[in-house]
Amino acid sequence: MVSSFFVVAVVLALAFAYVNGFHDASNAVSTTIATRAMSERSSLVLAAVLNLLGSLLGLGLSLAGTHWALDLAGLNSFSDVPMQGEPLLPPMLAGIVLAVIAWSLATWALGMPSSTWQAMLGAAAGAALSLGLAVPWASALPLVLAPMLTALLVGGAGSYLLARVIRRLGADDRIGIGSLQFLQTLSAGAVATAHGFADSRIAMGVIVLAASYEGVDLSRSAGAIVAMVGVSLALAAGTLVGGRRIIRTLARRLTNLATVQGFAAETVTALIVILGASFSAPSVSTSHSLTSSVVGSGLALGPRQIRWNVFGGIVGVWVVTPLASLGLGAVFTLLVQRLTT
């Protein structure tokens, strides 16, 4: 017999996956919409299907164990604590998820891309502080800063260089616009797959930790498959709806994208996210990577192609995200604790 906490945790995890797909749909479709390589509806359908497949692939390859989930949720201080019946886990887990959902909706309303990973780590720190637990700042700060700097530097430089190379090939008639549009469709699909591969693990981690509270090792249970499918479907459903406010920011407000720039930005983004998700727990943000790559590919046409005030606002949101999420995590955790005791 499962507890009411487990049921609530699963519902929150699925809601989180849906909002994550809704919020981050822009990552896969904004460039194809901007360059008219695909219609908005077709782009969203393609992104939803490939988010689903990427999610199933990522969850299938991951080790759905407790320590893996603790790393994803930023709860490293619990690594040596038995999870079964741990009284602090329910309010912390619920508070963290509610905080990330709230921040995702707030940034969507502003039309600003932001990192779910950064929000999760900030919310985890806030939840821990609100309950008097120690926060491992020495390990937490690099997890926040390193992925953002990686996305900015590698995404910007990589897409700039790739866009310059493709423009040179196009000038020499070695590659035509029709071929580029087809390649851009493939690169958009790669971004959607990479996003599903990386971000589905957060929602799955919540379910794994809730199961651990019940004394169940989900990695050795048939329920793991049901959870993986549920998370993947919720992520795909959110993507299908699409957060059009953020799509407009990346597709039209940040720069004027041509097919060359769109393909370069998407290709570099997909590589960064897949590699980041494969070799680290909190992976490089898809939102950070794509935004930086769009700027880098736009710079290949000249600095005046970038609307720097818009980019400055986006970077400002990135800086504020872990701090705002820390506050939200603390507030929601204390609220949940008060309501349940």
In three-state secondary structure terms, 219 is: helix
pTM across the whole model: 0.90
- Residue 80 in tokens: 């040596």
120: which strand partners? none
Closest CA to 115 of 284, 281, 292: 284
Reading the chain (341 residues) residue by residue, the pLDDT tens digits are 678 888 999 999 999 999 999 898 777 778 788 777 778 788 888 888 988 998 888 777 665 555 656 666 556 555 555 666 678 889 999 999 999 999 999 999 999 999 998 999 899 999 999 988 888 787 778 878 888 888 899 999 999 999 998 887 765 455 666 677 788 888 888 888 888 888 888 888 888 888 888 888 776 677 788 888 999 999 999 998 877 788 888 878 888 878 888 889 999 999 998 887 776 555 688 899 999 999 999 999 888 889 999 999 999 999 999 999 999 999 999 999 998 87
Query: By the 8 A CB rule, do 242 and 29 touch?
Result: yes
